Structures are given as structure tokens and as C-alpha cells.
Amino acid sequence: MSYVIDIDYILLNVLLVIVFYYAGCKLRNTPHVLPYMWSCIISFTFVLGSRYLRGNDYLRYQHTFLYDDDASQVIFTQFNTFLRWIGINEDTFLYIYSFIFIIGALIFLKTFKPYLKYLLPAFLIAFIFFNEYCIRQALGFSFIFLYMKELFKFDEKTDHIAKRILILALYAFLAYSMHSVNALNLVFITAIYLCSFRLISWKITIPTFIICALFLSQSINWKIFETFLGTIGGFNEKFSIYTNQADTFFSGNAFQKDYTRSFGGNILEMIGHSSLLYLGYRTIREFFNEKKYFALYNIYALGAIIDRCFWNYELLRRVFDPMLAFWCFTFAFVLAKANKLRKIDKVILLGLFYFIYEMGFKYLVERGDMTLFLWDK
């Protein structure tokens, strides 16, 4: 295990967490939300927009921005054309992408105002890696956040159902137009929300997660998915590029050993997720008796289980990684009610330090050469 101490990288990211935490503390109790929202927007845009050569897709999307490599994604291509027209170049386009991502996220997060003290920094830690490594998918996910904001209003009594459906369709179209794999996230998130009349019990989620982590992730026979993958490919041109090469992406050669966790890593992960699945279930059932909270928990639970099952295969992880990142919502809700937990549950809270270590500390010091900014060119 190699640790890298890059002072400006560490300081800027720590400062980013502090800004989000401070803004969350203030936003809970003030009607004047804009100054604190903008502090998050500006800091996030600067830190994430200034990154250089970070993530496997950095050079690819830099080239795509300049030369419209993904011309089949018409809206995305036209968007990049407009950015070039106003003077944005290959060094500054990520400022725009990061700005759009955090705007969409904060509009959604603001609907959970009482819990922003914990939710804002947890969200940052959960989604920052996704924003770095899945550049175009993350840009499209900005509109999934807006989609979810509208979707979660559907249980409210209203005379504007048709208008809301049109707004949902617009956000879904934009999310898909930026990256077509987001269509699958939209389908899963919508289906989970519509079916979330109750929480999935921890008695189901924890054993299933453990089985996936220890056994299924190493022994899945991908032949059983060929029909399913072929069907998806028929609906989605971008995804068909992958599904038509199922043998390449899902064969033994596609199994990416670099992602395989050690036995100790598996144990820590199971402790962390089991703790959150259990405490989240108890906390939300007792204090958050509302469908949108059920949905956020269920998205995380199913995302964690399926993502862990396909941990060593990049294609499916691109779909379920952002759903796994929804752990930040359950995490925030549990911490917000931590003082009301039973004594035994407060002991289980210690398991949540896994998320601080795995998603936070390791992001700061185990990045290898993925700590560069534009001024390091």
C-alpha cells in the first residue's frame, strides 16, 4: 500500500469538506440559503474543475470535447460546440461540467435541509470519485438529481400531474442525452421509488450483501446474462457497443483483478455496509416514515448489493456505482438521529467509520499520481 502526500491536493480537498460541512450547519437554520449554496458551488467547481490527468477518461473526454468524438450523442456534442464557441478550451471545460453537476446536486439536496450538516460533506465524499472517473456520466447525472426532486413530489396532492410528467421527461431526456447509460439509472431509480412502500429489511439486505461480497462476485457465470444484455443493446446504441462484445467484457479476461479486495478489506467493507444497512433500516423506519426516505435507503441497499456482486466488471459498475454512492443519504439520516439510538445501536455506529476511511481518507492519500491540478502541467 503506497501513500502519497501531495500538499495542495490534500489541503484543497480538506478545505472542500470543511466548506460543505460549514454550509450544511448554516443552511439548517437560515432562510438565506444562497450565500452558503454558492460557497459550495464555487469551491467544488474550482477544486474539481482544476483537476488534471485524473481518471481513466480524462484524456479521452478532453479529445472528445475538442473533436466531437461522440457525435451520436447530439445534445452532448452541441453543448460542447457551444462551449468552444464561447471560448472554453480543453483545460477549462471541466469547470463547466463540475459547475453543472454540483448545481443539480445541491438543488436536490436542499430538499433535505434539516440534515444538511451531515448530508453535504457525506455527499461530497460519496460522489467525488464518481465525478472524477465517469466524467460524461456524472454530467448527465446532474439531471437525474433534478429528476429525483420532481419524482419525489408525486405522492403530494397536486393538480399539475401532466406538468410534472413533462418536467420528468425533460430531465430524463437531458440525462440520457449527456450519457446514454444514465437511462438505466433512471429506470432503476424510478422503479425502486414506485415500489418503495416499505424498507427492504436488514434481515434480507445484510446476508445478501455478504454472500455477494464473499462468493458471487468471484463465481458468476456471465452466459446467463447474454439474452438480457442483448435486449438492452437493442434499445441503446451506446450500450450495444458493450453488449455486442459481451464475451470481451464479461469473460474471464474481463475480470479485473485490480479491483479484487483482500480478505481484510472484505471484512471491513462488510462491517461498514452491514452497520449502515442495519442502522439505516431502524432509523428511517422509526423517524422518517415517508416514501422518499424509503426510496433513498432502498436505492443504496440494492445498489450496494448489485455493485458488489459485479465488483470486478467495469460495465455494470458504471451503472450501479452511483446508486451505491447513495449511502450518503442513509449515513446522514442515521447521524442526525444518533442521540436517539439505543445503547447497543450507538456501539454499531462505530462501523460507520468505514465510510470515512474508505471514501475519505483513502481518497486523500492513496491516489498514486491521480493528484494533479492544472498548475502541475
Per-residue pLDDT at 245 exceeds 80: no
pLDDT at 233: 52
All residues at 6 or more sequence positions from 69 whose CB lies less than 8 Å from its CB, including other chains: 60, 63
142 in the same domain as 2? yes
pLDDT band at residue 254 using 50, 70 and 90 as cut-offs: very low
| 130 falls within a domain | yes
Domain containing residue 15: 1-179+360-377
Least confident segment among 25-34, 153-162, 301-310: 153-162
Q: Averaged over 9-13, what is the pLDDT? A: 95
* Distance of alpha carbon 278 from alpha carbon 338, whole angstroms: 13
171 in the same domain as 101? yes
pLDDT band at residue 249 using 50, 70 and 90 as cut-offs: very low
Cα separation values, 63 from 58, 71, 97, 259, 375, Å: 9, 12, 15, 27, 20
186 in the same domain as 175? no
| 103 falls within a domain | yes
Cα separation values, 27 from 109, 110, 114, 336, 337, Å: 11, 9, 8, 15, 18
Q: pTM to 2 decimals?
A: 0.90
123 in the same domain as 214? no
- Single-letter code of the amino acid located at 115: Y
* Distance of alpha carbon 182 from alpha carbon 323, whole angstroms: 11
280 in the same domain as 223? yes
pLDDT in tens, 113-152: 999 999 999 999 999 999 999 999 999 999 999 999 999 9
Least confident segment among 63-72, 79-88, 121-130, 177-186: 63-72
pLDDT at 163: 87
Cell representation of residue 299: 436505492
What share of the chain in percent tops pLDDT 70?
A: 85
All residues at 6 or more sequence positions from 330 whose CB lies less than 8 Å from its CB, including other chains: 276, 280, 283, 284, 296, 297, 300
pLDDT at 180: 87
195 in the same domain as 167? no
What share of the chain in percent tops pLDDT 90?
A: 64
| 78 falls within a domain | yes
* Distance of alpha carbon 223 from alpha carbon 7, whole angstroms: 47
| 346 falls within a domain | no
369 in the same domain as 224? no
pLDDT band at residue 239 using 50, 70 and 90 as cut-offs: low
- Single-letter code of the amino acid located at 124: L
Q: Averaged over 258-268, what is the pLDDT? A: 70
| 353 falls within a domain | no
Sign of CA dihedral 65, 69, 70, 72: positive
* Count of beta carbons in the 10 Å neighbourhood of residue 264: 8
117 in the same domain as 26? yes
| 190 falls within a domain | yes
125 in the same domain as 11? yes
Per-residue pLDDT at 260 exceeds 70: no
pLDDT band at residue 220 using 50, 70 and 90 as cut-offs: low
User: 238-255: buried (b, 16+ CB within 10 Å) or exposed (e) per residue?
Assistant: ebbebbeebeebbeeebb
| 32 falls within a domain | yes
pLDDT at 252: 47
pLDDT band at residue 308 using 50, 70 and 90 as cut-offs: confident
Q: Averaged over 287-296, what is the pLDDT? A: 94
326 in the same domain as 197? yes
pLDDT band at residue 258 using 50, 70 and 90 as cut-offs: low
pLDDT at 253: 45
* Distance of alpha carbon 304 from alpha carbon 208, whole angstroms: 10
| 230 falls within a domain | yes
Q: Averaged over 209-237, what is the pLDDT? A: 64
10 in the same domain as 131? yes
Read off φ and ψ for residue 373, nearest 5 degrees. Answer: -120, 170
Per-residue pLDDT at 248 exceeds 90: no
Number of domains observed in the structure of the chain: 2
Across the chain, mean pLDDT equals 87
pLDDT in tens, 317-343: 788 999 999 999 999 999 999 999 888
212 in the same domain as 172? no
